[in-house]
Chain A
Amino acid sequence: MLSSKLTGRNLWIAALVVPPIAFMSLFLVYPILSAFAYAFYEWKGLARGEFIWFENFHRVLFEFPFSERTINAFSHNIFVFFALMVLQNGVGFLLAYCLWRELWGARFHRVAVFLPVVLSTVIVGLLWKLFLHPLFGAVNVSLRGMGLGFLAQPWLGQDSTALMAIIVANAWHMVGFPTLVFLAGMQRIPSEILDAVRMETESEWVKMSKIVWPLVAPSATVVFTLLFVGAFNWFELPYVMGGIDGSPHGATDVLGLYFYRTAFGSMSASAENFGPGSALAVLIFLFIAVVSSVITIRLRKREIQL
């Protein structure tokens, strides 16, 4: 009697947990594990060939023309990360600090800053592509209208500004996210601490840099880590705004685009190349996993428990 009741209970639990586990194993865990294995094989189209040890890795890291493109794309990812650190997380922190005062209209500003976040990256990319059009785009039209016509540029058409233009569009799209994460962190600072600070100093700068900034460290850990992962997985916005080849002349090429082109073929040569593609994916994955763990561990250390 007891044992049959127990098996009945176990069967019920199994019926609950097995289907979700099966789903995740089949479509998340298994593909990721196979990604590691695939990188060690030779690929002919969609067919797996021989086991070739590290040859794919050697190709993408050290052999022309793969190596040069890898380095070019990687350096752009690093630039994107630091630029967004300032434009997205830095600005987000400042905006959160402003919203935190709960001045008149703060609720409206909070809704406004998060509005672009809910839009699809494709919509954002296509919209900014229209705005940045050299002749008819709203950006250049308004520059000319203000008598600043000499500043009008083919923003997405020249090497010097293309990547930065896409970065600015990304910051516009996503700045609301760090803003509201920081704001939530600030709202958790106990009011006794803030009252004590108010007795000590009048300086807003001291309050912001010496008190608020250290106390929102947990929020900073989260948004820094997420930005890092996002910057090195960057794909959709450069794909929509710069195109699959990272035009002009690879100036907006990043690892995500380069991986996609290598694996699934570009406009010019539409041939799958799964070997080097898998090697790239593994390298990007390991790089993100290692560095983001280091970032998380180091930033956790400076968090203060209240």
Chain B
Amino acid sequence: MAFGRDGLIQIILIGNSIVMLAPIIIMVISAFKTNAQIFQSPFSLPDFTKVGNLVRVWTETDFIRYLMNSFIVTGSSIALILVLGTMAAYALARYEFRGANLILLFFLAGLTLPLKLAVIPLFIQMRDLGLLDTRFALIFIYVATGLPTTVFILTGFIRSLPNELEDAARMDGASEARIMWAIMLPLVRPAMVIAAIQNVVPIWNDFFFPLIFIQSNDLKTLPQGLTTFMGEFGTDWGVLFSGLTLSALPVIILYIALSRQFVNGMTAGAIK
């Protein structure tokens, strides 16, 4: 009886993992095939030494440029989110001052606001600031949307840090800035990793805001560039699968290496 129950659970789990992984495996093996091989036997293993499709993606398309743009935009956004988020969270968590609760509420309110629906005023605003079709438009938007969760996570964490170190340093006459930088911030690093991961996946993957704000091919991010690229190579499925594989692989490898941190980071807002 117990075996039957566990057996059923195993069958469900194995079946599900096949459904989850098969599309990704087919994507990767198709990257090494010709059109004819993909159409006739989509599931057969290819000759993994045939990297012609991958080379074509690398050399004949703007793939590297899109990849670099994604790195620049995501990297700058995360850096700015962490700097600004830590500043606000540190002030809210370590000092008592008038209006602190109000400021925390202000950041929390930002958690619930869907910025996608404010894209029309945002568009006008970016035009007035002269930021249309620049990376700054994307970076500023990502920072604004990423700050609420970051402040939320970091404030909770910084509050839980002990007072003793800080008090001792203050006794010795260290300045507030020095206490923050040299004593407290090194302790905040684990929470910063969670906050960074929580932001990095949606920013790296975002398609909506580049679609609205970026027109130049030179500035397109990877998800946006992929749609262009799919149009250009529409009939060459080996190249298409190679493009998808090359775009997905960095994230997949990072996820497999850091799966616990990814899961914690991405569900941090949903698990109390």
Q: Which residues of A approach B to under 8 Å, CB–CB?
A: 9-10, 12-13, 16-17, 19-21, 23-24, 26-32, 34-35, 38, 46, 94-95, 98-99, 101, 103-106, 108-123, 126-128, 130-131, 135-136, 138, 141-142, 172, 176-177, 180-181, 184-185, 204, 218-219, 222-223, 226, 229, 233, 235-236, 239-240, 256, 259, 263-264, 274, 277-278, 281-282, 284-285, 288-289
Bound-state CA distance A20–B154 (Å) is 14
Interface pairs A-B: 10 shortest CB-CB: A27-B144, A120-B205, A34-B121, A122-B223, A16-B91, A31-B118, A20-B88, A28-B144, A20-B84, A112-B17
The answer, among B5, B10, B145, for a CB contact under 8 Å with A28, is B145
Bound-state CA distance A31–B23 (Å) is 39
The answer, among B106, B113, B118, B120, for a CB contact under 8 Å with A21, is B106
Bound-state CA distance A112–B240 (Å) is 24
Are B223 and A94 touching (Cβ within 8 A)?
no
Contacts of B211 in A (CB 8 A): 239
Is B176 positioned at the interface, with any CB of A under 8 Å from its CB?
yes
Is B124 positioned at the interface, with any CB of A under 8 Å from its CB?
yes
B92: min CB distance to chain A, Å: 7
Are B118 and A35 touching (Cβ within 8 A)?
yes
B24: min CB distance to chain A, Å: 7
Are A103 and B227 touching (Cβ within 8 A)?
no
Contacts of A123 in B (CB 8 A): 223, 226, 244, 247-248
Is B16 positioned at the interface, with any CB of A under 8 Å from its CB?
yes
Contacts of A20 in B (CB 8 A): 84-85, 87-88, 107, 147, 151
Bound-state CA distance A215–B84 (Å) is 38
Are A35 and B120 touching (Cβ within 8 A)?
yes
A111 and B259 in contact (CB under 8 A), knowing A32-B118, A116-B20, A281-B117? yes
Per-residue CB contact flags for chain B residues 112-150 toward chain A (1 = under 8 Å, else 0) read 111111111110110100000000000011011101100
Q: Which residues of B approach A to under 8 Å, CB–CB?
A: 5-6, 9-10, 12-14, 16-17, 19-21, 23-24, 26-27, 38-39, 42-43, 84-85, 87-88, 90-92, 95, 97, 103, 106-107, 110, 112-122, 124-125, 127, 140-141, 143-145, 147-148, 151, 176-177, 201, 204-205, 207-208, 211-212, 222-224, 226-227, 230, 237, 240-241, 244, 247-248, 251-252, 255-256, 259, 262-263, 266-267, 270-272
- Which chain A residue has the least Cβ–Cβ distance from B140? A27
The answer, among A115, A135, A185, for a CB contact under 8 Å with B252, is A115
A116 and B24 in contact (CB under 8 A), knowing A32-B113, A122-B207? yes
Contacts of A109 in B (CB 8 A): 13-14, 16-17
Bound-state CA distance A122–B243 (Å) is 12
- Which chain B residue has the least Cβ–Cβ distance from A117? B266
22 A-B residue pairs with CB within 8 Å? A10-B97, A16-B87, A20-B85, A20-B107, A30-B121, A34-B125, A35-B120, A105-B10, A105-B14, A114-B259, A115-B252, A116-B20, A121-B205, A123-B247, A126-B226, A126-B227, A141-B39, A172-B19, A177-B266, A256-B116, A278-B120, A281-B117
